[in-house]
Structure 1
Amino acid sequence: MQTPPWRGNGIGRMMGSMAFLLRPPRPADAAPLAALHVETWRQTYAGLMPAETFGADMLRSRRRLWDRALNDPRADMRIRLAEAGGQLIGFAWSDDAVGNTGTRPPRDLQLYALYVDALHHGGGAGQALLDAVLGDEPAVLWVAKENSRAVAFYRRNGFVADGTEQVEPTAPNVTDIRMVR
């Protein structure tokens, strides 16, 4: 498989008339990354989760998560950011798989997060981010069954639902399905 031209550190790609850049994160990215994380969750899960879910508590929680991850990254952690016009527009994170259903995960690599601001959907940033953190390696991921756009995206990238589902403990209206490739 040919290496995508945007993979790596700081190589850009055109997105329509706007270029985006993929790059590894820096510790200083924790605050804007936390804000993007909350905003993309709000865009993705509005109507499935109460509006107050996306408030100050979630922002503080995401900030702690990203402070830890960016200041003390583990060797197997793969994180890439997409930015356009100097603003973060998306991020992806993969790492060793953890079995959260009480069984051994079906793959050793897991995609934990892939979010792109809705204003930039369809412009290639999501695909570039996925390629940067997974390449074409076998992997597992969990996605909200109700998120048909994301499910279709992962199917186009070779993932299939394996029949395993779980209800999000903090969001009883969200059922996650496990997809593997």
Structure 2
Amino acid sequence: MQPPEIRPVTADEAVAAAWCHLLCWREAYAGLVPDDLLLERTSDIDRRISRWTTPLGPGRQRWIALNPDPDAPVQDRVAGFIGVGPGRDEDAPVPFELEAIYTRRAFWQTGLGSRLLDVAVGKQPAFLWVFEANERALAFYRRHGFEPDGTGKHDPYFDLWEIRLVRG
């Protein structure tokens, strides 16, 4: 099967991208977030579609990776996504932020995450926030040169602690 095509998201793909977003959270955060909270936070597809159809701020961009299976249902049409833009932290260590990157479990360890990162960030300095207990994600970011900068915060949405990683 051919690899997923990566390209900027269009308004027509908001529903599929929203499904990918929610399902990626379910897959990535299983075992990190209590099951009942995870289900509650990933069940409002209309809210997530609204987030995907709201115009992005200046300098912010999103790319999606399209599932190469032409018969995939809408929930599986998008295999992953990445969002980037100007740093939102007042004390941003570098100007560019990796706001989100996810791939569906079926595409884990296929190189899709690295491809998304290459397309949207390249080798430029960037920072991101990651749940401190998310070992799989931490290993991915370490492989791409990101290191903790000693800054942390509590994420109230999933009730987990995050750490900031930076690549200079």
TM-score by length of 2: 0.87
- Identity, % of aligned positions: 31
Match of 2:126 in 1: 139
The DSSP-based 3-state class of the residue aligned with 2:3 is strand
Match of 2:46 in 1: 60
Structure 1, residues 116-156: CA drift from partner, whole Å, max 9, x if none?
00011011110000111101000010011111111011011
Q: Mapping of 1:21-40 within 5 angstroms?
A: 21-40=5-24
Cα distance, 1:104 vs. partner?
Answer: 1.7
1:78 and 2:68 equivalent?
Answer: no
List structure 1 segments (4+ residues) > 2 angstroms apart after TM superposition: 72-75
The DSSP-based 3-state class of the residue aligned with 1:19 is coil
Structure 1, residues 35-83: CA drift from partner, whole Å, max 9, x if none?
1100000111124141222112xx2222111101xxx344512221111
Match of 2:84 in 1: 94
Structure 1, residues 146-173: CA drift from partner, whole Å, max 9, x if none?
111110110110100011111111222x
The DSSP-based 3-state class of the residue aligned with 2:92 is coil
| Structure 2 unaligned regions, length at least 5 | 71-76
Match of 1:122 in 2: 109
Structure 1 distance, partners of 2:59, 2:79, is: 24
CA root-mean-square deviation: 1.4
Structure 1 distance, partners of 2:83, 2:63, is: 7
TM-score by length of 1: 0.81
Cα distance, 1:18 vs. partner?
Answer: 3.9
Structure 2 distance, partners of 1:104, 1:165, is: 12
The DSSP-based 3-state class of the residue aligned with 2:4 is strand
| Structure 1 unaligned regions, length at least 5 | 1-16
The DSSP-based 3-state class of the residue aligned with 1:167 is strand
For these two proteins, the number of residue pairs brought into alignment is 156
Structure 2 distance, partners of 1:146, 1:73, is: 29
